[in-house]
Amino acid sequence: MAAITISSADTNAYASSLGEAATSLREGSLVIFPTETVYGVGANAADPAAVQRLRAAKGRLGTQPFSVHLGAKREAANFLSKPTPLVRRLVRKLWPGPVTLICEERSPEETSFGRAVSAEARSAVFHEQTVGLRCPDHPVATRLLLESAVPVVASSANRAGRPAPGTVEEALLELGDAATYAIDAGRTQLSRSSTIIEIRGHHWNVVREGAVDERTIRRLSQSLTLFVCTGNSCRSPLAEYLFRKQLAEALGVSEAEAAEAGYLVESAGVAAFPGAAASDGTVNELAKRGIDARAHQAQPTTPELLQQAERIFAMTADHREAILMRLPSAAGRVTLLDDRPIADPIGGGPEQYAACADQIERAVARRVKEFLDEDRNW
């Protein structure tokens, strides 16, 4: 029986018809729907019979899983028991969008989805301790996935080995006899498959380059934390080196490995002389903590550097104001490192430097914890 086609252009009937398609999807039928890349076909992931229908329609034999399609990025938490900071960062920056993330999940039965379904249903989603997740950037896909109120696995609406469809007509020629509903929203915007990224621990690699290229992913996967003081010779270098060390320890990797994984940490000054060394007091305080800062070179707070930073910590309110004068759009990313202003120890003795370093070290410890806990509620 041919699929019932719903047109998103028919505003009078669209809402109720889409609701019928969502109900049909929830009850085990296959539904063809548009994404920003290609037309897909989805099934209720919690219904093993529906997944088998999808597998048969695609001609996909064996146990290769389908990717889970999400109506909202927060739903990724249902399929991951302990999402890493890198996963959360890529979800935050790349979704909704044409990117599929293959994430590690060593305990599928401990995820919200895994606890709610049978082992057979889990096997359709999790494979070799991984799960593929996708959050399409298309209003029709978003509405269908949310209204279905069930986890949905999907794939391009074509038989194995055939080109992915960019129109509903192409999708119907491929799978029209297998789906109950097909939603027509015209030709897809990109007509190109999603990029697939595999994430292992703190590292990632592109499995299939699609609508988003590797250069863009590399840029978005990085997270720059910037510390700012006046001359970038005392306070902000203390914060930079202490944050980098504590973050690497919390991640269980070396500082070089943390940087390679995209965790970047720098410091700058609102009145810095480029290339100036860190003060002797700062070098000595860091040396007490096993950190060699003799190679530090000061840099100014350029608009380009401020624009690149994902989070900016200022030592005082005056520093924050100076940052915002250079880049007003950074207002939502600039905050004080500590609740109390951090006094400049320049010109002071060892006691002043020790007090400054101790205050910064305590504040940095709190900021590292915040950094690792970010997006924990998705």
**Taking residues 286-305, what's their average pLDDT?**
97
Contact assessment for residue 189 and residue 38, using Cβ atoms and an 8 Å cutoff = no
pLDDT tier, 376 (very low <50, low <70, confident <90, very high otherwise) = low
260: which 2 tokens?
Answer: 């390679």
pLDDT tier, 377 (very low <50, low <70, confident <90, very high otherwise) = low
- What pLDDT does 247 receive? 96
- What pLDDT does 375 receive? 58
- What pLDDT does 192 receive? 87
Residue 378 has pLDDT above 70, yes or no: no
**Taking residues 204-222, what's their average pLDDT?**
93
- What pLDDT does 69 receive? 98
| Gap between the terminal Cα atoms of the chain | 41
Domain(s) of CATH 3.40.50.2300: residues in the chain: 222-373
Name the more confident of 153 and 262. 153
Residue type, 344: D
The answer to whether 234 is a known catalytic residue is no
Choosing from 162, 187, 326, 344, which is the catalytic residue?
344
**Taking residues 232-239, what's their average pLDDT?**
98
**Taking residues 256-273, what's their average pLDDT?**
94
The answer to whether 229 is a known catalytic residue is yes
Residue 11 has pLDDT above 80, yes or no: no
pLDDT tier, 103 (very low <50, low <70, confident <90, very high otherwise) = very high
Starting at the edge strand found earlier in the chain, the sheet holding 223-229 runs 263-269, 223-229, 311-314, 334-336
Choosing from 229, 234, 338, 367, which is the catalytic residue?
229
Domain(s) of CATH 3.90.870.10: residues in the chain: 4-219
**Taking residues 189-217, what's their average pLDDT?**
93
- Per-residue pLDDT of 78-100, as tens digits, reads 999 989 888 988 999 999 999 99
The answer to whether 333 is a known catalytic residue is no
Choosing from 235, 244, 320, 367, which is the catalytic residue?
235
Q: What is the CATH number of domain 222-373?
A: 3.40.50.2300
Asked if CATH classification 3.90.10.10 holds for the domain at 4-219, the reply, yes or no, is no
